[in-house]
Amino acid sequence: MRLLPARPLAILVLLFSVLGLLVAAARADLVWSKESGWRLENGVLAGLTEADGRKALDLMNSARSAEEKGSNHSAIKGYANVARRYPNSIYAPEALYRSAKLRLAGKDYTRAFEDFQGVIGRYPNTKRFNEIIGEQYNIARALLNGARGRMFFGLLPGFVARERAIGYFETIIVNAPYSDYAPLSLMNVAIGHQKLGNTEDAIDALDRMINNYPQNLLAPDAYLKMAQIDATLVDGPYYDQAATKESITYYTDFMLLFPGDNNIAVAEKGLDQMKTMMAESKMKMADFYFYKRNNFTAARVFYNEAITTYPDSAVAKRAKLRLADVEAKAAGKKVPAEGKGEGDTPKKKRFLFF
């Protein structure tokens, strides 16, 4: 058997020793007690020389001592110093976490979120991952609901920051796409954009929710809200009906996919309104060709489309009566003028008083 030379063997032993220390450090927990301060279980100082380890520990103890005394500003400053000077140590994620908690207590939502993000971004294997994602979600939700952080060292309230809340929700989705917070965040992104009047962005968020989390408990709400938002984009029977078609699609999908949902009645009412709108749009086109252009072929096509769009509706009934007028006029017979035919709603009389 061939033996390794002494020097390479020594290097290999050293590498395995360092690896062993890193593994031990990864398993080590940072523990605090008022009596002994911060300490590492098993006595391991992760990623630091002995001298730097003592300095980092002193800074951590000083920051925690300030925290215990209620001097949050000094504590935050101390924790920030640890995270900046010893980013590769086991102390850094704890320092960022404690700083974030203190900032949150002082309603400094922006910096609290950033410090929590520092833990997630730099130390994704932290045992506090789920807790931190939850804290980030709560911050974003509070801002979306109008919470105002503190400014000028906590002396004055800040501004409403719904745009920032939307950005925070998007960050959460990236941080934890397979967590329960991701679909919740997407729904809140949609709500936020709706509040800000960004309809297209709200639709985009709901579309991502439906496509990425179709089995989630929030999926029915996403379908229904998508249908309702599309319905708000409908301008009337005289205009383009693309939004009407989209709304009908999502109302229909909702009713087919979730027949036992509590909002079925809401969906049925919305679907009725949208199908009526679509049928009415066909009627307007048909009336135009019939009364303005005497184009009986085009009129027949659109009256029939009005019937097939919503067969059991009052609009379909009017379309059938109008088809009879088309055939009569095509045969040279006299028919009622526009708005005077059977089934048309009579215009309200207007009375003028002098």
Q: What are the pLDDT digits (tens) for 94-108?
A: 999 999 999 999 999
For the ranges 53-57, 83-87, 208-212, the lowest mean pLDDT is seen at 53-57
Question: Is 1 a domain residue?
Answer: no
Per-residue pLDDT of 165-208, as tens digits, reads: 999 999 999 999 999 999 999 999 999 999 999 999 999 999 99
- Helices 129-144 & 181-195, crossing angle to 10 degrees? 20
Binning pLDDT at 50, 70 and 90, where does residue 35 land? confident
Binning pLDDT at 50, 70 and 90, where does residue 34 land? confident
Question: Is 115 a domain residue?
Answer: no
| pLDDT at position 158 over 70 | no
Give the mean pLDDT of 210-230. 97
Question: Is 55 a domain residue?
Answer: yes
- What does the pLDDT read at residue 156? 53
Does one domain contain both 321 and 254? Answer: yes
Question: Is 35 a domain residue?
Answer: yes
Does one domain contain both 321 and 265? Answer: yes
Give the mean pLDDT of 105-114. 95
Number of structural domains (the chain) is: 3
- What does the pLDDT read at residue 297? 97
Residue ending a domain, choose from 215, 240, 268: 215
Does one domain contain both 246 and 333? Answer: yes
| pLDDT at position 298 over 60 | yes
Residues 6+ apart with CB under 8 A from 219: 183, 209, 210, 213, 257, 258
**Cα separation of 213 and 179, whole Å?**
11
**Cα separation of 204 and 173, whole Å?**
14
Residues 6+ apart with CB under 8 A from 283: 237, 302, 303, 306, 315, 318, 319, 322
Model pTM? 0.82
| pLDDT at position 23 over 60 | no
Give the mean pLDDT of 249-273. 98
Question: Is 194 a domain residue?
Answer: yes
Per-residue pLDDT of 285-295, as tens digits, reads: 999 999 999 99
**Cα separation of 295 and 31, whole Å?**
86
Owning domain of residue 51: 30-105
